[in-house]
Amino acid sequence: MHQTHPVSSDENISKQSFIDRYKAVRARTVDICSKLKAEDMVVQPIEDVSPPKWHLAHSTWFFETFLLSAFSENYKVFDTDFGYLFNSYYNTIGERVLRANRGNLSRPITSVIMRYRAYVDSCLTEFLENTNPTQEQIEIIELGLQHEMQHQELLLTDIKYILGMNPTFPRYDVNSLVDTAVENETGFLSIAEGVYPIGYEGQGFCFDNELGCHKVYIHDFQIAKSLVTFNEYIEFIEAGGYQDFKHWHAEGWDWVKKNQILSPMHMYKVNGEWMRYSLSGFQKVVGEEVLVHVNYYEAAAFATWKGMRLPTEFEWEVAADNLKWGKAWEWTNSAYLPYPKFNIAEGAIGEYNGKFMVNQMVLRGASGATFPGHSRKSYRNFFHPHLQWQFSGIRLAK
C-alpha cells in the first residue's frame, strides 16, 4: 500500500480525527444492514453473493487479524473459531469456510457478530489512543477502512441480489438513489494521440494495483461523455441483440445460450412493459436512467452492435478528468494485469490484489453505491466477464 501518514504520533488532533473517521466508516456498514430483517442476513442465493452477516463479521476479522492480533499486546481474540469462519481468501492466514458455504452459517447469530464488531472497535480505538502507532500500523488500519468501503458496495449489490431474486421483490429502501442515476450528458470527447502517464501518483491512499506510474501510447480516440441508458440498451434487446451471435464473443454467446439470457440482471418484460428491480423497489424502467447490471459480454456485444467498442482502461484514465463519472462502474476492454512496476507485498496483505490478475476485466469509475471519495481516476476495479450483479454499465468509445 502507499499513503501518507494520516496521523503524526505527537498530534492528538489528527489522531482523534483518524479515530472519528474509523468509527464513521465502521458505522456505515451497520447502517446499510439496519434496513434488513433477520432472515435477510443469512441467505447466500449464489456463490458470488455473500450473506450480509458474513460481510459484517469479515470486515471486522480483517482489523482483528491484521492489526490487533498482529500488533496489540495482550489482545485476546473474540472467538477462536472466527478465523476459520470469516477469513475470505488469505492462504497465508489459514483454512476457511468454502465461499459457497457462507450461507450455511446460521450461527454465530447476528447479535453475536454485532458484539464482535463492538469488541474489535473498542480494542482498536483503545490501541490507537494508548500507543503511538507506527506507519505500518496506520497503513494497515487505513487498508482495513478501504477494504470495509469495498465491502459496503458489495453489501449493497448482494442485498439487491438477495431481495431482487425473492419472488415478492421486497424493497430495500424506498428512498434509495443508489441505482437510479439519470444521465444528462451527450456527445463524445476527442483525445489526441500521444504518450500519457498511467497509474497513481500523489500523497493519498491507493491500492497496490494502481502503483508504478508508467507511460502508455494512446492513439486518437473518442469517448462518450454519457453512460449508456436503459433506453439505448432496450433498443439493442428489441433489435434481437440476444438472438444474434454476430455481436458476441464466443464465450459471451455460450453464456447467453447456456443461461437463456434475454436481458441484464434485474430487468423483466411484463405484459409488454420493461420493469426492473432497484433497491427502491420493483418498478417501470425509466429510460433516461443509467443502465446497470450488464456483464462484460453484454457491454462488448452492445458496443459491437453500435459499431463502436469499449475504451481501454488507459484511454479511460486519460479521459477521466473531462468525464463526469461515478454513476456506474464502467467495463473496459482491458484485462486485469499487473502494471510494469507492480510489486506484491510481503505476507498476507500481498494476497489483496496480485493473485487475482488473471481472467478478469478492469472496470473504471465508481457507482452510486461507492463510498464517497473511495474511488479515483487511477482506481482499478475488476470482475470476471460473466458477472452481472455489480452496478456495472457501459461507456462507448470509437
The footprint of Fe ion (CB under 5 A) covers 88
Task: Give the span between the Cα atoms of 289 and 372, in whole angstroms.
Answer: 20
User: Based on CB atoms, which residue is closest to Fe ion, 117 or 276?
Assistant: 117
**Closer Cβ to Fe ion, 88 or 226, answer by number:** 88
Q: Whole-number minimum distance, CB 148 to Fe ion, in Å?
A: 9
Shorter beta-carbon distance to Fe ion: residue 121 or 254: 121
Nearer to Fe ion, 88 or 392 (CB): 88
Whose Cβ is closer to Fe ion: residue 147's or residue 160's? 147
Closest separation in Å from C-beta 241 to Fe ion: 35
User: Smallest distance, Å, CB 352 to Fe ion?
Assistant: 9
Rounded to the nearest whole angstrom, what is the least distance from the CB of residue 125 to Fe ion in the complex?
A: 21
Of residues 143 and 224, the one with the C-beta less far from Fe ion: 143
- Report which secondary-structure segment, H or E, holds 395: none
SS3 220: coil
Least spacing, CB of residue 88 vs Fe ion, in Å: 5
- As a whole number of angstroms, the distance between CA 312 and CA 362 comes to 9
Q: How many CA atoms lie within 13 A of 149 on its CB side?
A: 20
Instruction: Give one DSSP letter per residue of 315-362, joined into a string.
Output: HHHHHGGGS---SEEEEEEEE----TT--PPSSGGGGSSGGG-SS-EE
Terminus-to-terminus CA distance in the chain, angstroms? 35
Q: Which three cell numbers stand for residue 255?
A: 453464456
- 210 C-beta neighbours (distance < 10 Å), count: 23
Judged by beta carbon, residue 55 or residue 276, the one nearer Fe ion is 55
Find the shortest distance in angstroms from Cβ 65 to Fe ion: 11
Tell me if the bond preceding 197 is cis, omega within 30° of 0. Answer: no
8 A C-beta contact, residue 66 and residue 140: yes
Residue type, 71: F
Q: Which is nearer to Fe ion, 88 or 370 (CB)?
A: 88
* Residue recorded with cell 463526469: 324
Shortest Å, Cβ 151 to Fe ion? 6
Q: Rounded to whole angstroms, how far apart are CA atoms 362 and 352?
A: 16
Amino acid identity, position 310: L
What distance in Å separates the CA atoms of residue 343 and residue 337, rounded to the nearest whole number? 12
For residues 4 and 135, give the distance between their C-alpha atoms in angstroms, rounded to a whole number. Answer: 9
Using Cβ positions, the residue closest to Fe ion within the complex turns out to be 88
Smallest distance, Fe ion to C-beta of residue 206, A: 17
